[in-house]
Structure formats: structure tokens, C-alpha cells
Structure 1
């Protein structure tokens, strides 16, 4: 099935596709994102022109190619270079620490992606608030499978396109309940869906202004805004303050300290602005271990039984 649009380009920086998009998918069974057996990346998106399926692969000469199907195919291929970090500029990044220096050398192809789709990144980030990842990804799959649309094109398996903001806003309370989403998170998604057009404008704003606009929505705090900025806005400095494990992870990885607060982390990483998120991704990609988890862990809370 011939694609509706194609774009081939050569990145200006070394680009490791898998590493760059590693945090864009929501679990191994995300119906909107995955890799085919031939190594190609498949993603679906809902553009302003309509739905699209994207296949991104590397040619024999090292160039990257995006093929797209659906009404939004032209818009999808236009954003493909940014999706793979084409707008990311790591030139001013100074590792300044032996562990980070090694990670930066070994993972030179790590780029910060920019999908440009703010609301698509926001919904799963809201679902991840104050619950374990396994629970959040299960909720995401349930809702996308229930309300998403069939992806266009010859996808390697059944794939879906995320629901529109209007559809998210109209999901009844009992369906949120079936998906294991509590009223607070579902209310935040619905509220955000009603101002989705304004939120999409964040992709054209400076980072501070984009964060302020996101946080103006009740239920969206600094952590959620950072998670969106890391994916949709390509913000290499967006630090997930308030994460359940991140501060301790950074403290242990860089300083051998196992009781690191958010305040400690922010202070310790100040000299790495505007690349704090890049630093975290390099540590994760390098497999730098965090502290042994001896304390309490976040519990699985089944909201369907409440």
C-alpha cells in the first residue's frame, strides 16, 4: 500500500532512533507506538488534518525516511525530523561528571524528541499521576482501544489513533471507572480536553510560558507539565520534580547519596541547565543503577473497586 506522503532526511547529529523515542511509547502494548520486526518505528497521531500512521526507518546510506498514511500524512511527515530530535541542540551540553561523560560518549545518538502534539502527550501523563506505571499503561490501553480509531495504512499489527479531545471530554464516568481511573484524574483530562486548542499552542511558546499555560489547568502540576514538555515540546531541561523515585535515583547515581530530596536534586543539577532532562536520560540509557529500594513502594490502587 503506497504511502500518502514520504520524507527522507539526513540528521545533523548522530541519531539513535530507539533511544530517542524510548519514552514516547506507553508500555510494550501501546496501540499507538511500537517497532515492527524489521526494526521500523511505527507511530500513529491525530493531526489537525486528521489521523495518520507513520513508519520511520533508516536507509542503507544512513538517511532517515518517514512514510505516512491517512488524512494527516503530510502533516505527519513534516514533523518527523523533530520527532527524532532534529530540533534538539546538544552542542552546549558539558557532562562535567565522570559517569555522565561516559554515558554521553557511549550514547551519542540520544536526542530529545519533539512530537509537537501537546494533548496527546498530556493525557497519558495525567493517567500516570500518583499511580504505578503498570496501572497507568493499562488505563491508557483500555481507553484508546475503547475510543480510538483504526489506524490508516499497512500497520504491522492492529494499531489505533488516539481519540480526539472532544471524544475524551465525552467519556462517561463509568468508563473511566472501568479503566481504573479515579475521578480526580478523569476530571483533569476532561478539563484539559475542553481547552485543548489553547494547550496545543504551547508548542510555539517559550518553555516557561508553556509550563505556565499547562499548569493553569486544574490538576496539572510541575511534574505533569515536565512530562509533557519532555515529549511534545522537546525541552531538554524539563526536570520531573515530584517524581516518586527520580530525586533518589539522581542522588545515588551522581553522588552516592540514597536520601535525596527534590530540593537537593534541583540544587545539584542547577549547573547543568538547560540540559537537566538530557542528563537524566543519559543516566537511564547508560543503565546507571539507583539505590536499593528498601523503603515503601507506591502501591497498586484498584480504583475500579471504589
Structure 2
């Protein structure tokens, strides 16, 4: 297989001009199921300026940390599967993460949309929507904590600042340099002033630092948990991590098809609008999703893919910046 960026992308990136790009490894992933690559993998991007992930010209570029070292993946779908290339010391292990990232462990065939015509039609129209799993538990936990009780714009800005300042650049031919997130130990050692400059509130920074102080024991316990219930118990035992954060981690890191982010500012409104034609609260959302117990995250994802959520009612919020005060 040959992999090359589309002609719309530069042949030589800024990184390539200043640092020698290591040799790439390649593979062609042929899933045994329908796959919408962009919808399945795209949810892992934390905003349009995410330093760890980029979508350009039909290619998904993703930086990740593996036990063998950092790597950059490039994925492009065509009629014969997904073309994948990887660079960096962790390139070989990064390639191994691709099937799981693309939803190979997901089982949408277990999903019964029932008699609800809205969900049945969304399921029929989006057969390639899979619930994939990220291999980076550390960065998933950190990004989910950063997204607690703030707007997406604030959270993504904090993520961009911290990764740009403390992450590690991985040479690759990506259109712009990509960085991997810090290790647990590196997150623990970020100074208090840097969290403030990133716009992160003290409760969130404390949660990340406390979790990082427990190091690999937390990651090992969550990774080895036998089921979603035990993962939630371990995650919510950490100070500052509640049901919303636990659900976000289980969705992104483990591809949990049933996790529901209770406490989300917008989610209940979207579900209520799609399934009942009106806004609802968390309790109402759970009642509406009850017929799909075991597959509730899939229903939420289908609502989003089909554009059934509540339309935006007001201009986007622009929070006041207090960092220089």
C-alpha cells in the first residue's frame, strides 16, 4: 500500500523543513463492517485548533502516546478500506490501535431501534456510525476534566494552551506540527500559574494533579476493570470526578455504547427535542432513553448524526477573561 497526503496538502510541512521526519509504517485496515471514519473518529478532536488532532483534505491526523513512545497517525478512507500511516517511535503500536479506534469492538448489530421511527430512520441512514475507543486514557481523563462546567470554547482553549506549552512535538508530514499530551507525571508537575494562564479553574486543576499523583495505578485499575460499572466506580472514587466526567471518559476511551453524560448543559435539551419535541431535564432525558438501556450512547450519537438536536437559540457565549486580573 502507498500512502501520500492529498494534493491539497503541502508536500513538506513546517516540521519536515526543520526536523528530519522518521520513516513511516503503513497498513490498510479493511473493517468487516460499515464505517463512517469521520463521524467515528472525529469525536476525539477537541476543537478545530486541537494540537493533538487535525482533519484536513479528507485525512485525519492524530498524535498519540504509546508505551513505545509518541506517534502520529494519518487515516484516509477509500473504497477499499482505510489507508493508515504512522510516524514516530511508537508508530508500530499506533497502527495496532486503529481497529479499536474505528469501532471494531462495537456491536451495533445488538441495537434494536424499536418502534421509534425517528431513531429507526437515523440508524438506517447512518450504518457506518461506530462507537470507537481511544487508546489514550490519560489525555481523555484530562480533557474531560477540563470540560467540566465551562463552555467548549473555554475548555478547548485551555487544552490548546497546555498541550502547546507542555506537550511533545512528533515529526510527521502533517499540515501543521502535532503534539502528544504530557505524561501523567508531567501533568502533575505543571505549575499553578500555568493552569491560571490556561484559564483552568482551581477545582479542575486540582482534580488533574491529584489524579496524576496516583499515577499509573489509576490507569491500570481503570483499564483492567471488568465492566463499565466498575470503571465508573473507580473513576468516581477520584476527588473531582463525578458521573458526567466518568461517562465522558467511558465514551471516549472505552467506546461505551450505554454511557450518558448526565449533567451536561445541552444534552438533555437535545434528547428532549429529538424524542419528545420539547426541552427536558436530566431525569426526563433518562426516561426518554430508557427503552434503549444498554445502547443509550448510540441513540445520543444517532440524534447528533441526524441533526435532530435542538437548534441554537442565541449567539455563542463569549466568557469574560479574568486571567490578567
Residue in 2 aligned with 1:204? 224
Residue in 2 aligned with 1:181? 200
Residue 200 of structure 1: CA displacement? 2.5
Residue 283 of structure 1: CA displacement? 0.5
Range moving further from structure 2, 230-239 or 149-158: 149-158
Residue in 2 aligned with 1:240? 261
1:124-273 pair list within 5 angstroms:
124-201=143-220, 202-205=222-225, 206-258=227-279, 260-273=280-293
Note if contact 1:248-1:291 (Cα within 8 Å) is conserved in structure 2: no
Residue 17 of structure 1: CA displacement? 0.6
In the alignment, the residues of structure 2 paired with residue 87 and residue 222 of structure 1 have an alpha-carbon distance, to the nearest angstrom, of 24
Residue 145 of structure 1: CA displacement? 0.4
Residue in 2 aligned with 1:77? 95
- Residue by residue over 1:47-83, the C-alpha shift from the partner in whole angstroms, topping out at 9 and shown as x without a partner, is 1211011111235x42223211111111111111100
Residue 241 of structure 1: CA displacement? 0.5
Note if contact 1:9-1:65 (Cα within 8 Å) is conserved in structure 2: yes
Alignment counterpart, residue 56 of structure 2, candidates 10, 13, 36: 36
Residue in 2 aligned with 1:14? 34
Note if contact 2:275-2:288 (Cα within 8 Å) is conserved in structure 1: no
| Consecutive aligned runs of 4 or more in structure 1 exceeding 6 Å deviation | none
Range moving further from structure 2, 218-227 or 101-110: 101-110
In structure 2, list runs of 5 or more residues that go unmatched.
Answer: 1-20
Note if contact 2:63-2:179 (Cα within 8 Å) is conserved in structure 1: yes
Residue 171 of structure 1: CA displacement? 0.6
Range moving further from structure 2, 28-37 or 140-149: 28-37
Residue 274 of structure 1: CA displacement? 1.2
Range moving further from structure 2, 264-273 or 216-225: 264-273
Note if contact 2:22-2:88 (Cα within 8 Å) is conserved in structure 1: no
Note if contact 1:227-1:240 (Cα within 8 Å) is conserved in structure 2: yes
Determine whether 1:107 maps to 2:126.
yes
- Alignment CA distance shift 1:292-1:76 (3 Å): closer
In the alignment, the residues of structure 1 paired with residue 271 and residue 103 of structure 2 have an alpha-carbon distance, to the nearest angstrom, of 24
Residue 158 of structure 1: CA displacement? 1.6
Partner secondary structure for residue 42 of structure 2:
coil
Note if contact 1:181-1:303 (Cα within 8 Å) is conserved in structure 2: no
Note if contact 1:116-1:203 (Cα within 8 Å) is conserved in structure 2: no
Note if contact 1:131-1:300 (Cα within 8 Å) is conserved in structure 2: no
In the alignment, the residues of structure 1 paired with residue 312 and residue 37 of structure 2 have an alpha-carbon distance, to the nearest angstrom, of 30
Q: How many residues align?
A: 302
- Alignment CA distance shift 1:80-1:196 (3 Å): farther
In structure 1, list runs of 5 or more residues that go unmatched.
Answer: none
Residue in 2 aligned with 1:120? 139
Query: Normalization by structure 1: what TM-score?
Result: 0.93
In the alignment, the residues of structure 2 paired with residue 117 and residue 172 of structure 1 have an alpha-carbon distance, to the nearest angstrom, of 23
Determine whether 1:285 maps to 2:305.
yes
Query: Normalization by structure 2: what TM-score?
Result: 0.87
